[in-house]
Amino acid sequence: MDVLMDLVSDDLQAVNALIMKHMQSNVVLIPQLAGHLIAAGGKRLRPLLTLASARLCGYQGDRHFGLAACIEFIHTATLLHDDVVDESDLRRGRDTANAIFGNKPSVLVGDFLFSRAFQLMSRDSSLEVIRILSDASAIIAEGEVQQLMTTNDLETDRDAYLEVISGKTAVLFAASCQLGAVVAERPENEEQALENYGQYLGIAFQLVDDILDYSAKQAALGKTVGDDFREGKMTLPIILAYEKADSEEKVFWKRVIEDLDQNDDDLDTAIALMNKYNALEDSMAKAREYVEKAITELDIFPDSPEKSALIGAVQFSIAREF
Amino acid sequence: MDVLMDLVSDDLQAVNALIMKHMQSNVVLIPQLAGHLIAAGGKRLRPLLTLASARLCGYQGDRHFGLAACIEFIHTATLLHDDVVDESDLRRGRDTANAIFGNKPSVLVGDFLFSRAFQLMSRDSSLEVIRILSDASAIIAEGEVQQLMTTNDLETDRDAYLEVISGKTAVLFAASCQLGAVVAERPENEEQALENYGQYLGIAFQLVDDILDYSAKQAALGKTVGDDFREGKMTLPIILAYEKADSEEKVFWKRVIEDLDQNDDDLDTAIALMNKYNALEDSMAKAREYVEKAITELDIFPDSPEKSALIGAVQFSIAREF
């Protein structure tokens, strides 16, 4: 990840300058609230992917700076709306904008950032770019709604889960990478390869996120665990543990996930059941599968520092503290 | 209003068909929830304005059908997000989507409709149209945030109020009308005239809405009154009554609006104070001013059934049951 960061650090500064510039508004609460999230030192993972992909494609211009800023705006808007949605209390290790400013402003500032992204695109970009990012945004919303529908539903299977995370997370990773090829006007097969790379990376990234929510190491580091559990969110570790559950365990899962009737020690019980059936390890194996698929997509590109950095980004996605 | 409706009823059917087609999704909750609001028989006021404006400009094509559908999607998205925001229980005479489906799905389905609007534009439209509607969306969000900031703040003055309603309401009316000239490729002065017409109409419309919230006639008809009052929203009737308040009345306004410490008979007291200072009548006079300004903007267009219908639409906006 550091390699990627070093490689495009100048570019990233240009993107950050655009982000700070375009999140301004005469309505002072907007930059205050947006800045809380945007300036909070997010990893800028998606903009980094756009910058590296554009370089991988030999792009020499500066259109990708604005696009990377647009992608970060769309991502931030979804975070703000997701905060409302999930009633989560912590994100990126600090209080959410939602917890501090309230639901109302969070929704509206999300709308502002989303609109601002399309404003910028309508001035500096092409209908093709707008098509890619509006398609991505619609799929993100569909994925989030589908996630709501599968929450508390033990019948949710692996396919449904993969569909949810493909939509809510992976599609914006895919668009971030694809746009690198689009601005560089590379042929269709390179555009497709970068889109696939981003898609697979995004799936691996979300899989690991969902595994970390049950990680003992996270708990030891003082990070919150069990957020998904407390909501009854159907992530892969639960799906795999429930697949193999005996009838007594099924009663447990029904109570804690479907009825959301949870006691203090239920999270520990859930993790114990996951460990009993190797659900966390098997979920990691699935993440590794997608990592391999992502890396394979880069085969068509000649070796370069950018390619190495993109490979490194995928490996980072599954090597996070566990 | 009926004249306008009759004039473009075939066109409106085409728009409705596009709306129903494009709000579909494999995620079944999306059309369910969106349909609750969209199919609930909203007045389709903004699409009607686009259709009539395009005809006024002599447009013969069919690009405006899709644009009218996009505008209704953006409008519906803002309603869904506004429901979250205002915790309002009734809209258009039935339970809000928010009350029935919950905040979470309402926010996300709003996001879907908003994204869908830009998806459609990216395929069937121009960067100019996307510029107009993304600008409008950003200004709507700014207006809504500014409204939050003025709520419970008795220092809010007429100018601040006009800025809020210009943003949150009028700008989408303005865009709806402007786009009629844009698709017809009319000269700049006609585009500007229609934009201004829509802007003034939207301001008048919102002024009347805000007056109706304190209307005895509304209460007699069994409609909810006092929603704005209960939230401490600073609309023109309160601003005008507070401007003239004596020191005892100022204490009252401070308690009910700033502290939101309200008793059962406070709404009646508020209305009595508004009547004492002609605040409702003066607000209506202000609405009529904007009606006149709107109609004047149409002077550059030759007489036609469309022009008469657009004049009728403005008159309807202030003649609603009072």
Q: Does the beta-carbon distance from A130 to B130 stay under 8 Å? A: yes
pLDDT of residue B322: 53
pLDDT of residue A41: 63
CA distance B309 to chain A (A): 32
- The more confidently predicted of residues B1 and A51 is A51
Q: How far apart are CA B308 and CA B52, in angstroms?
A: 10
Sign of CA dihedral B242, B247, B252, B256: positive
- Which residues make beta-bridge pairs with A95? A90
Q: How far apart are CA A99 and CA A106, in angstroms?
A: 9
pLDDT digits (tens, 9 = 90+) for B189-233: 999 999 999 999 999 999 999 999 998 777 776 778 899 999 999
Q: Does the beta-carbon distance from B145 to A103 stay under 8 Å? A: no
Element (H, E) at A94: strand A94-95
Residue of A nearest to B127 (CA): A122
pLDDT of residue B4: 86
List the single residue in B25, B103, B142 with the smallest CB-CB distance to A25.
B142
Q: Does the beta-carbon distance from A145 to B27 stay under 8 Å? A: yes
Q: Does the beta-carbon distance from B141 to A112 stay under 8 Å? A: yes
- The more confidently predicted of residues A40 and A20 is A20
Chain A interface mutation, best of B29, B78, B84, B107, highest count of A Cβ atoms under 10 Å: B107
Q: How far apart are CA A295 and CA A307, in angstroms?
A: 9
Element (H, E) at B95: strand B94-95
Q: How far apart are CA A289 and CA B68, in angstroms?
A: 45
Q: Does the beta-carbon distance from B148 to A85 stay under 8 Å? A: no
Lowest mean pLDDT among A159-163, A238-242, B7-11, B258-262: B7-11
pLDDT of residue A94: 47
Concatenated DSSP letters for A32-47?
A: HHHHHHHTTT---HHH
> HSE on the CB side for B60, CA within 13 Å?
0
Class of domain A2-319: mainly alpha
Q: Residue B139: pLDDT above 70?
A: yes
Q: Which residues of B touch A134 (CB under 8 A)?
A: 115-116, 118-119, 121-122
CA distance B121 to chain A (A): 8
pLDDT of residue A291: 96
Residues A317 and A208 sit within 8 Å (Cβ to Cβ): yes
pLDDT digits (tens, 9 = 90+) for A35-76: 888 876 678 999 999 999 999 999 999 999 999 999 999 999
Q: Residue B92: pLDDT above 50?
A: no
Residue B41 — very low, low, confident or very high, per pLDDT cuts 50/70/90?
Answer: low
pLDDT of residue A40: 62
Domain edges within chain B: 2-319
pLDDT digits (tens, 9 = 90+) for A74-116: 999 999 998 775 444 444 444 667 767 778 889 999 999 999 9
Which amino acid, B65? Answer: F
Contacts with B223 (C-beta within 8 Å, 6 or more apart), sequence order: B93
Tell me how crowded residue B215 is: count the other CB atoms within 10 A of its CB: 18
Q: Does the beta-carbon distance from A119 to B134 stay under 8 Å? A: yes
**Mean pLDDT confidence for B236-242:** 98
CA distance A10 to chain B (A): 29
pLDDT digits (tens, 9 = 90+) for A149-166: 999 999 999 999 999 999
pLDDT of residue A2: 79
- For tokens 């290790």, the residue is A93
pLDDT of residue B89: 43
Q: Does the beta-carbon distance from B145 to A116 stay under 8 Å? A: no
Concatenated DSSP letters for B117-170?
A: HHHHHHHHS-HHHHHHHHHHHHHHHHHHHHHHHHTT-TT--HHHHHHHHIIIII
